[in-house]
Structure 1
Amino acid sequence: MRAVQLFDNLWQDYITRLCPSADKVHQLLQEDTPLINDHIALRTFRTPQLGLDVLMKPFLAEGYQVGGEYRFAAKKLYARHLQHPDPTLPKVFISELLVDELSMPAQKLIYPLLDSVTKVASPDFLWQGRPWPLSYTDYQILAAESEYAGWLAAHGYGANHFTVSVNQLSAFDEVKQVNAHLRRHGFAINEAGGEVKGSPDVMLEQSSTLADKVEVSFDDVTAMVPGGFYEFAKRYPMADGTLYQGFVEASADKIFESTHRQ
């Protein structure tokens, strides 16, 4: 499957199931040329059958390479980002939850979910949604300990967010201007760590909407829970004049909180 098709499939799942409002945001920011997607983000559990290395494979098969690795000790996460030699293709930020670092009650809920997945139909599993049974009660228990664990258990696989490249926009020069434009149209911005995460000093600025509330069918009930969100990134040039292509751990840490229950 070609890389462009991978992202098209992820986008359709994202705007249908995880973040329906993203389509409106896209239209609000669309100019004369198609919007550049800076990166997407995927989430998973650290486990042999579904860990980060498994999620990387479809992208590596399309020529992507590992660009950096990141650790988020407080959230018990490890992540890598992938990038392609073709700069027009989005970067891919994949994080995994270190399940062994959670409490024993949480581990006893998560591992049976993972054990129920006997086969990964790569690459379709990237947008297959939740491949395991889950009750709303178990979702609440997991989310109380780790919002990330609750989100992933509830939604399964799909793009947590897409990201507009602010560098491309002609109507807005700054991330704050994008935020103000979206607020005027009724969108809430993630304020954790400030409305803009990062700075020119670290060569990356980011912001994001708060996650949509979306309907999820659990085994026992249907409930509204946080889904996906839309991010905005402005990259700054390095000493050689090329734009910084990595990620800033302190900023990404706060971007994760876009999916926290309000």
Structure 2
Amino acid sequence: MTVDALFGHLWQDYITRLCPSAHKVHDLLREDESLINDHIALRTFNVAPLGIDTIAKPFLDLGYEVSGHYDFEAKKLTAIHLEHSDALLPKVFISELRVEECSQSLQDIVAKLVAQVDSAKLSSAEFLYGGRLWDLSYQDLQMLAQESEYASWLAAHGYGANHFTVSVNQLDCFAEVVEVNQHLRDAGFAINESGGEVKGSPEVLLEQSSTMADKVSVAFTDGDQLIPGGFYEFAKRYQLADGSYYQGFVAASADKIFESTHQ
């Protein structure tokens, strides 16, 4: 599978299953050139056979390299980001929940989910946009959500892009993230206000914002429920002293972006 094919599959899964409103965002921001996707984000548990290494492997096989490491102590998350030598290809932000730091009840539910995983499916990149690899009850989802929104989202949706990200740098009509936010508000979108509507600053070389997640219908063993799915992010990167643009992530900002999927 080529890089373009992989991102094509991830995009189709994202707009079909997780964030149907992405089409409208594209229509609102599309100019003469195709929108540049700054990065996508993927979530996982740090439990074998899952974990960051498993999620990263299909991208590493396609020429990506690990370019940054991050820790989110309060949310009990570890993360990395991957970059490709082709700077026009999206970066990939992969995080995992440190399950062993969570309560025994959460660990038990996650163990029950992971026990259902067919390891053979992890040998192909297709699992990255395949959704859940397990069955889950809504009751278990609610128990997870009481402790970790991250765990509940991952348990409900499985694998797929949590978000795609428009590069604000390429836009002609909008120079600032706050302008993009207002344009989307005017079109009826809710913006994630956690930590302020714009996370980051020119001083840290990155500004980010995001919509709040779409509500999507998800099937559970005890019935269908409407829950938060995926969201759309917007990123503006600033230049370094050598004239190149900062390509990393700011942990404090990413921490607040995670909350775009909160109820």
In the superposition, the TM-score normalised over structure 1's length comes to 0.99
Secondary structure (helix, strand or coil) at the match of 1:37 reads: coil
Query: Residue type matched to 2:77 in 1?
Result: L
**Cα distance in 1 for residues equivalent to 2:218 and 2:62:** 32
Identity among equivalent positions (%) equals 67
Query: Residue type matched to 2:3 in 1?
Result: A
Moved >2 Å (runs of 4+): none
Cα displacement (A) at 1:50: 1.1
Q: What do the CA deviations read for 1:88-124 (whole angstroms, capped 9, x no partner)?
A: 1000000000000110011011112112112224200
Q: RMSD between aligned alpha carbons?
A: 0.6
1:245 is aligned to 247
- 1:20 aligned onto 2:20: yes
Secondary structure (helix, strand or coil) at the match of 1:130 reads: coil
**Cα distance in 1 for residues equivalent to 2:182 and 2:70:** 30
| Number of corresponding residues | 261
**Cα distance in 1 for residues equivalent to 2:223 and 2:154:** 18
- 1:73 aligned onto 2:76: no
Query: Residue type matched to 2:60 in 1?
Result: L
1:156 to 151, 155, 158: 158
Q: Is the 8 A contact 2:118 2:133 kept in 1?
A: no
**Cα distance in 1 for residues equivalent to 2:35 and 2:229:** 22
Cα displacement (A) at 1:47: 1.4
2:6 is aligned to 6
**Cα distance in 2 for residues equivalent to 1:168 and 1:213:** 29
Of 160-169 and 108-117, deviating more is 108-117
Q: What do the CA deviations read for 1:132-163 (whole angstroms, capped 9, x no partner)?
A: 01000000000110000000000000000000
1:176 to 161, 175, 178: 178
Query: Residue type matched to 2:82 in 1?
Result: L
**Cα distance in 2 for residues equivalent to 1:106 and 1:198:** 32
**Cα distance in 1 for residues equivalent to 2:78 and 2:115:** 21
2:195 is aligned to 193
**Cα distance in 2 for residues equivalent to 1:34 and 1:171:** 14
Secondary structure (helix, strand or coil) at the match of 1:33 reads: coil
Query: Residue type matched to 1:93 in 2?
Result: F
2:259 is aligned to 257
1:61-210 equivalence runs, <5 A: 61-119=61-119, 120-210=122-212
In the superposition, the TM-score normalised over structure 2's length comes to 0.98
Query: Residue type matched to 1:219 in 2?
Result: T
1:29 is aligned to 29
Q: Is the 8 A contact 2:19 2:214 kept in 1?
A: yes
Of 105-114 and 155-164, deviating more is 105-114
Secondary structure (helix, strand or coil) at the match of 2:213 reads: coil
Q: Is the 8 A contact 2:228 2:261 kept in 1?
A: yes
Secondary structure (helix, strand or coil) at the match of 2:221 reads: coil
Query: Residue type matched to 2:190 in 1?
Result: A
Of 45-54 and 205-214, deviating more is 45-54
